[in-house]
Chain A
Amino acid sequence: MVMGASGSKLEKALGDQFPEGERYFGLENFGNTCYCNSVLQALYFCIPFREQLLEYYANNKTPGDVEENLLTCLADLFMQISQAKKKTGVIAPKRFVQRVKKQNELFRSYMHQDAHEFLNFLLNELVDILEKESSAAKDSPQSSSPEKAPNGPVQPLANGVKKEPPVTLVHKNFQGILTNETRCLRCETVTARDETFLDLSVDIEQNSSITSCLKNFCSTETLNAEDKFFCDKCCSLQEAQKRMKIKKAPHILVIHLKRFKYIEQLGRYKKLSYRVVFPMELKLSNTSDDVDTEYSLFAVVVHVGSGPNHGHYVSLVKSHNHWLFFDDENVEMVEEQTLQTFFGSSHEYSGNTDHGYILFYEGLGGKS
């Protein structure tokens, strides 16, 4: 059901600058489904992902013979938004929410859920569906929709034992590769193990920046004392240095700020309201390329509230050089400077409880 009453204010605010062919629709809340709505808005305004998903759905959709799954529900929802007659309004993502609850009992209750868990679940579920459909297409060569060849060379993994999965549109957009390097300090042997990721979860510190959090993520850790490393060459436990490097940077960099920390004494999670600034542009060095990958911020999922089990999620999204604020059904335009209010608090007992939680950066085409 498409309701078009609200949102006319937004059209007036944008006026002539309303982008051609774009739609700005709020999503209805069915009771603590803001974790779902905020992530959906961020993914919808990830333009490459949206376009590739809709294209894939249009090419592979055959009426009647495709079973409904999370991918079809997501694509239907995206199509509902992008093909709406009105430019603004509210859409009820009922079918999608029901599908989510059906497939994952974690989201069945009406309790508040974690947006990052939902994002991870959604992306991995899409990967499973796409890989199954890709395998099915390979097994039946008479299929009317031939599988497209993946673009570019497939990244060979360090261990050749594992079967090579096909590159889905989720991997094309979100997947990066990390290298875990361990150097034995006795024989100087470096052991490397590759690991793929769809998003990066980084620890945060008070009054820091995303730049320094990413640096800490890739910083060197020493293994010594009771935490020594067993070196295959030395055939014994030795002191070692361990570090993480980004081997391949993703096209869409998703950064999850670990704002929920388990406190042993209390036996529950506590929210870290730390002030962590994030810039509109970012760069990542990676080991396989000679140049640094440049990124531009296009979406922020914001957690509102003082704890993990009660609160609210909203999202801020950049669309055609202006920023929009999505609070479930409500959509309004905001100034870029407004994003600074979601950096966090310098003081633990500040009244401000709106904190940036998941950051979405899109890689710029050229590399500097």
Chain B
Amino acid sequence: MAGAPGVGPGAGGGGGAAAGLKTYFKTPEGRYKLQYEKAHSAVLHYSHGGKTVSQLTVAYLKEKPASQGSQPSTPSASSGMRSAAARLLGTGNGSKALSFGGGNGASRAVAGSSRVGGGLGTPTGLGGSQGGTNYDGKGTYIVFNAADTLFISDLNSQEKDPLKSIHFSNSNPLCHAFDPEAKEGHDLIIGMGSGDVYSMSLRQQLQDPGRKPVAALHYNKGDKDVSPNGSRCTSVAWVPEREGIFVVSHSDGNLYVYDKNKDGNTDCTFPAVKDQSQFMVAHAKSSKSNPVARWHICQGSINAISFSPDGAYLATVGRDGYLRVFDFSKEQLIFGGRSYYGALLCCTWSSDGKYLLTGGEDDLVQVWGMDDRKIVAWGEGHNSWVSGVAFDSYWSPPSSDGNGENVYRFGSVGQDTQLLLWDLALDEIVVPLRHPSSASPTFSSGSPSTHWDNACPPTGVLQPSPRMRDVPKLSPLVAHRVHADPLSGMVFTSESILTICREGLIKIWVRPEQSENNQQSNSSEFALGPASKDRAITSSNKASSSSFKKLPPVLVT
């Protein structure tokens, strides 16, 4: 097996935190340079002893619309109602934090209503009083968690410390997601160790000088079936193209669908899960209930979830080592497959929705094909568990290759403190031949007894884990030790790669083009929207990087 090509080998014998770490790494496109670091000072003194794992969310705030409450499309009656409710819930009582402890939704609604009569001028007044703040306009922000605090930093600022700290007293924030498509009200959701979820407005948090969450809404699953000590949130996600709907996964194998415009503290009961390994969807009986549905996905923890860019499909990875891909609207399993061994820890989609990446406890990165509904390749290169995977939708292969349509760039980070970059050239992947008469071993992992072969598996089947020799192998283009601590996530942005370690230190690696152009593009940062905009940016990247010759990826079969 080919070993991972190393750039800047790690310092021997551990120890010396920053001694062996380089501030750049090379790719065929040029050098990625360490531009900024973001962290809260207290975090780096290991005050919380690694009880929580820091996660990273990039949030793009668009320019505030000139006319308050204007909407791009003509709202229907119900949509108007929901928008009005969202406005009240989102902006009411902005000067002080809402109570967290109570489930007193009715009282809150009354309070909200009471502002209707005397509050016609409230939005304008609030806007006027806050006009002088620095963070009312557009910008790109980094949201990350450490211990009992959520931090917000400015991506483009040289300041290392965060702009904002939000302290949670009753539980630790574990995961978070930002909705760039949110038209009204709350756009940031935070999943807690207690199993609760909070939603809030990112803009409002930035405008408020305090350390407590501002105008946050509280959601709890209210499920009596859950074990008494609760079940921690593992992943949260907004549903693309479904305004106001978000999904929360838990360590007990359950996933809940919430509507941000409904009261989050209703008591709703779902039927007991009799078979922990059986997939089951239950809907709330009352139309007022929130969550509106519970999906029981698997036995053991759901470790991460990810929606396809169009919101049609939901991918989950779990403690049992399975990737599962569901049709979200139909609530059906499309396909799934198992890791080589161990749990899967992370998953993501390509921006065209054709491929998925997963990573986990076998130190491998798995590439899955959505059309064929099966494994495409395994990436070998990490020396520990893979904790984050991402496609680089801003990268395109150099035009001189002629393979432009079928080459993807993706990255992975692991607990080995390494960032790996990979090129996925689909035309060059050789699927190994299998002898049709070979005996099929009996699978004891509880999955259906299906023989893994080159044929396209039927819909709704979970594939067992393949043998090591049967899957094509990828080798990384770049392997770079970027942190002293094990890594927990990574994000590609138009100008940089962001990496975060479990302790909460974030590093921003600026792309080669930006560093060569004296970072003039920073001043022209703008909100990124649908895929078509991504395509435009990709085209410009292609033009600027045409002078580089791409090295062919190393394939080991």
* Chain A positions near chain B (C-beta within 8 angstroms): 205-209, 211-212, 215, 272, 274-275, 277, 279-283, 285, 291-292, 294, 346-348, 350-352, 364-368
Contact = CB atoms under 8 A, between A and B. Distances in A.
B441 A291 contact: yes
B340 A283 contact: yes
A366 B384 contact: no
B152 to A, nearest CB: 26
A211 B363 contact: yes
Given A208-B384, A281-B321, A368 B464 contact: yes
A367 B465 CA distance: 11
A181 to B, nearest CB: 15
Contacts of A272: 14
Interface string B195-226: 00000000000000000000000000000000
A212 B342 contact: no
The B interface is mostly helix, strand or loop, or mixed, namely loop
B444 to A, nearest CB: 4
B363 A209 contact: yes
Contact of B385 (A205, A277, A366): A277
Contacts of B1: 215
A285 B1 CA distance: 13
Given A207-B384, A291-B441, A368-B465, 6 more contacts: A212-B383, A274-B14, A347-B14, A367-B441, A368-B443, A368-B467
A208 B1 CA distance: 18
B17 interface: yes
Contacts of B467: 291-292, 368
B29 interface: no
A292 B340 CA distance: 10
Contacts of A281: 321, 341-342, 361
In order of increasing CB-CB distance, the 6 nearest A-B pairs are A206-B14, A279-B342, A366-B444, A279-B361, A212-B383, A209-B384
23 contacts: A207-B14, A207-B417, A209-B361, A209-B385, A209-B415, A212-B363, A212-B384, A215-B1, A274-B14, A275-B415, A277-B384, A279-B341, A279-B362, A279-B385, A281-B321, A283-B362, A283-B468, A292-B467, A347-B17, A347-B485, A364-B444, A366-B441, A368-B465
A364 B46 CA distance: 39
B341 to A, nearest CB: 4
B416 A212 contact: yes
B486 A275 contact: yes
A207 B486 contact: yes
B445 A368 contact: yes
B442 interface: yes
Contacts of A280: 342-343, 361
Nearest to A218: B1
Contacts of B15: 348
Interface in B414-455: 415-417, 441-445
B362 A211 contact: yes
A285 B415 contact: no
B54 to A, nearest CB: 13
B484 A346 contact: yes
Nearest to B321: A281
B13 interface: yes
A279 B445 contact: no
B341 A283 contact: yes
A111 to B, nearest CB: 28
A29 B417 CA distance: 40
Given A280-B343, A347-B46, A368 B383 contact: no
A348 B12 CA distance: 12
B276 to A, nearest CB: 11
A279 B343 contact: yes
A368 B363 CA distance: 18
Contacts of A279: 341-343, 361-362, 385
A350 B46 contact: yes
Nearest to A343: B415
B486 A346 contact: yes
A14 B1 CA distance: 46
A209 B485 contact: no
User: Which of B1, B341, B484 is the most central at the interface, judged by chain A CB atoms within 10 Å of its CB?
Assistant: B341
B226 to A, nearest CB: 15
Contacts of A365: 444
Given A277-B415, A366-B443, A294 B341 contact: yes
A292 B416 contact: no
A278 to B, nearest CB: 9
Interface in B1-39: 1, 10, 13-15, 17
Given A208-B416, A368-B464, A282 B342 contact: yes
Nearest to B229: A335
A208 B486 contact: no
Contacts of B10: 206-207
Contacts of B343: 279-280
A209 B340 contact: no
A346 B362 CA distance: 20
Given A212-B363, A277-B384, A206 B441 contact: no
B247 to A, nearest CB: 22
A209 B343 CA distance: 14
A366 B465 CA distance: 13
A278 B159 CA distance: 37
Nearest to A212: B383
Contacts of B341: 279, 281-283, 294
Contacts of A209: 361, 363, 383-385, 415-416
Interface string B441-480: 1111100000000000000000011011000000000000
B21 to A, nearest CB: 12
Interface in B32-60: 46, 49
A211 B417 CA distance: 16
Contacts of A211: 362-363, 384
A208 B418 CA distance: 10
A289 to B, nearest CB: 11
Contact of B383 (A205, A282, A283, A291): A205
Nearest to A349: B15
B15 to A, nearest CB: 5
Contacts of A346: 417, 484-486
B538 to A, nearest CB: 34
A350 B385 CA distance: 21
A272 B445 CA distance: 35
A352 B485 CA distance: 15
A277 B415 CA distance: 9
Nearest to B53: A340
Contacts of B441: 291, 366-368
B361 A207 contact: no
A20 B11 CA distance: 51
A278 B343 CA distance: 11
User: Which of B342, B385, B445, B486 is the most central at the interface, judged by chain A CB atoms within 10 Å of its CB?
Assistant: B342
Nearest to B484: A346
A142 B144 CA distance: 76
A155 to B, nearest CB: 22
A208 B15 CA distance: 14
B486 A366 contact: no
Contacts of B17: 347
User: Which of A207, A212, A279 is the most central at the interface, judged by chain B CB atoms within 10 Å of its CB?
Assistant: A207
